[in-house]
């Protein structure tokens, strides 16, 4: 079986697989990181699921866990941690989409996502995000 635009080793692997399955890569980011007066916190992929292009999902979960440690030690508040986590999540979510578009999509989508990144960063600098 010949599959266009697929590396030869992957094409060979797929041609020898009896029961193929396909999974869609999804992403998303929550606008909030805590609920019920800070008693329920979203961390890791529950807060922001990134496309795999940046390899940041594990780093995000670790960052959230370290932040929770700082909350429990009294060095940060839940509100500050939530704001920090949501901003980081949105930054990485936009960056992973941008990188994916650059490598896999056309220039139109890349340009649109680049504009979204710039708008987010300007809003962040003006204090309109986070």
Q: Residue ranges of the domains in the chain?
A: 8-125
C-alpha to C-alpha distances, 130 to 13, 63, 117, nearest whole angstrom: 45, 17, 15
Answer whether 0.85 is exceeded by the pTM.
no
CA-CA distance, 95 to 97, in Å (whole number)? 5
Name residues of the chain where pLDDT drops below 70: 1-4, 103, 105, 130
Exposure on the CB side of residue 91, measured as CA atoms within 13 A: 15
CA-CA distance, 48 to 58, in Å (whole number)? 11
pLDDT number for residue 3: 60
pLDDT number for residue 2: 56
pLDDT number for residue 42: 87
pLDDT number for residue 69: 93
pLDDT number for residue 75: 95
What are phi and psi for residue 5, nearest 5 degrees?
60, 25
Question: Tokens representing 2?
Answer: 């010949």
pLDDT number for residue 108: 81
């Amino acid at each position: 079986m010949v599959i266009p635009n697929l590396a030869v080793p992957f094409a060979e692997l797929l041609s020898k697989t009896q029961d193929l399955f396909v999974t869609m890569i999804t992403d998303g980011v929550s606008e909030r990181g805590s609920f019920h007066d800070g008693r329920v916190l979203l961390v890791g992929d529950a807060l922001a699921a990134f496309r795999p292009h940046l390899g940041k999902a594990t780093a995000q979960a670790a960052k959230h866990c370290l932040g929770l440690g700082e909350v429990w030690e009294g060095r940060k508040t839940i509100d500050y941690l939530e704001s920090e986590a949501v901003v980081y999540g949105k930054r990485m979510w936009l960056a992973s989409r941008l990188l994916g578009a650059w490598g896999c999509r056309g220039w139109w989508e890349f340009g649109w996502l680049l504009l979204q990144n710039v708008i987010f960063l300007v809003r962040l600098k003006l204090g309109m995000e986070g």
